Chains A and B, each alone.
Chain A
Amino acid sequence: GDSVTQTEGQVALSEEDFLTIHCNYSASGYPTLFWYVQYPGEGPQLLFRASRDKEKGSSRGFEATYDKGTTSFHLRKASVQESDSAVYYCALSDTGYQNFYFGKGTSLTVIP
């Protein structure tokens, strides 16, 4: 079945550090890939998505590129801020069964 794997469970960085959160997926066909962000006490909200190979999604300085060859959608940001502290989820939506699959999430803490 379809699945999403996030390598990092917790990440701690200082402000202005470079962020990478790794996301790999397993799915047939061309799923749509998403990054969601969740702040304390709230539900996950969409950061951005991509639906085609080599498509780049971006928002608020975060970006990720859909790579079908390596089945990856890694999240990157050049310079993190304290306000970026949150949980980040990689997810995919398959084209056939209308289901969503989420990774286990990565908790990002940015130290001022």
Chain B
Amino acid sequence: EAAVTQSPRNKVAVTGGKVTLSCNQTNNHNNMYWYRQDTGHGLRLIHYSYGAGSTEKGDIPDGYKASRPSQENFSLILELATPSQTSVYFCASGGGPGERLFFGHGTKLSVL
């Protein structure tokens, strides 16, 4: 079974601080995604990547950066965290158009 691992599982950050969420996949998938999940909004796409060195903006990229240094790793970076970024973040990987996504277990982020 394909594996996507996120770290940390829980994170408490202070307003204005820098936060990095990490994601590792062992599926050898080209595509990776970062979503945030909020009540009433479902899953919203923040950034995605088609391969090492590439990052693309999703539907809600403001306040977030992404980094894809290798096929396996995809990070989400909050340079100046704000309370509105308190959420659960999910990383996913996928093989391409029409292929399923495999999700990690999520990172619960609280910005105080």
Contact = CB atoms under 8 A, between A and B. Distances in A.
Contact of A102 (B40, B43, B98): B43
Residues of B in contact with A, size category? 20 to 34
A96 B31 CA distance: 14
Task: Name the residue among A41, A42, A99, A100 with the largest chain B CB count within 10 angstroms.
Answer: A100
B105 interface: yes
A60 to B, nearest CB: 16
B62 interface: no
Contacts of B96: 98
Given A45-B103, A94-B97, A100-B101, A105 B43 contact: yes
B98 A43 contact: no
Interface of B: 4, 31, 33, 35, 40-43, 45, 48, 50, 58, 90, 92, 94, 96-101, 103-106
Interface of A: 6, 9, 32, 34, 41-46, 49, 51, 89, 93-96, 98-105
